[in-house]
Amino acid sequence: MHIHFLDPFRPRLSPVHALDPRVKLVLALAYILTVALTPVGAWPVYFLLLAVILSVGILSALGLGFIQRRALLALPFMLAAVPIIFTNGETALFSFPLGTWTLTGYAEGLARFASVALKSWLSVQAAVVLASSTSFPDLLQAMRAIRIPRLLVAMFGLMWRYLFVLVDEALRLMRARAARSGQGAEAVHRSGGSMAWQARVAGGMAGNLFLRAFERSDRIYMAMVARGYDGEIRSLPLSAIGSGSWLTLAGGLILLILLLLFGFLLWG
Ligand X SMILES: Nc1ncnc2c1ncn2[C@@H]1O[C@H](COP(=O)(O)OP(=O)(O)OP(=O)(O)O)[C@@H](O)[C@H]1O
Please report, as ranges, the residues that interact with ligand X according to CB under 6 A. 1-2
Residue 191 CB, nearest distance to ligand X (Å)?
Answer: 27
Residue 263 CB, nearest distance to ligand X (Å)?
Answer: 46
Nearer of residues 1 and 151 to ligand X, judged by Cβ: 1
Residue 25 CB, nearest distance to other proteins (Å)?
Answer: 9
The rounded distance, in Å, linking the Cα atoms of 151 and 69 is 34
List, in order, residues 6 or more apart from 157 with CB less than 8 Å away.
Answer: 137, 140
Residue 2 CB, nearest distance to ligand X (Å)?
Answer: 5
Q: Tell me which residues in 78-107 interact with other proteins (CB under 8 A).
A: 80-81, 83-84, 87-88
Q: Tell me which residues in 9-38 interact with other proteins (CB under 8 A).
A: 13-15, 28-29, 32-33, 35-37
From the list ligand X, other proteins, none, partner contacted by residue 229 (C-beta under 5 to 8 A by kind): other proteins
Nearer of residues 95 and 208 to other proteins, judged by Cβ: 208
DSSP letter (8 states) at residue 191: P
Distances (CA, A) of 1 to 61, 100, 158, 172, 174: 29, 56, 21, 8, 13
From the list other proteins, ligand X, none, partner contacted by residue 111 (C-beta under 5 to 8 A by kind): none
The rounded distance, in Å, linking the Cα atoms of 2 and 154 is 24
Binding flags for other proteins, 151-170, as an x/- string (CB under 8 A):
xx-xxxxxxxxxxxxxx-xx
From the list ligand X, other proteins, none, partner contacted by residue 207 (C-beta under 5 to 8 A by kind): other proteins
Which residues are registered as beta bridge partners of 103?
Answer: 96
Nearer of residues 2 and 69 to ligand X, judged by Cβ: 2
What does residue 89 show for φ and ψ, rounded to 5 degrees? 125, 180
Residue 100 CB, nearest distance to other proteins (Å)?
Answer: 18
Using the rule CB under 8 A, is 208 a contact of other proteins? yes
Q: Tell me which residues in 235-254 interact with other proteins (CB under 8 A).
A: 235-237
Nearer of residues 86 and 164 to ligand X, judged by Cβ: 164
The rounded distance, in Å, linking the Cα atoms of 179 and 174 is 8
Residue 212 CB, nearest distance to ligand X (Å)?
Answer: 15
Which residues are registered as beta bridge partners of 74?
Answer: none
Number of residues in contact with other proteins, rule: CB under 8 A? 148
Q: Classify residue 99 as left (phi > 0), alpha (psi -120 to 50) or beta.
A: left
DSSP string for residues in 38-67: SPTT-HHHHHHHHHHHHHHHHHTTS-HHHH
CB 121 within 8 A of CB 73: no
> In degrees to the nearest 10, what's the CA dihedral of 160, 165, 166, 167?
90
Please give the distance of CA 134 from its chain centroid, rounded to a whole number: 13
Residue 145 CB, nearest distance to other proteins (Å)?
Answer: 15
Nearer of residues 92 and 206 to other proteins, judged by Cβ: 206
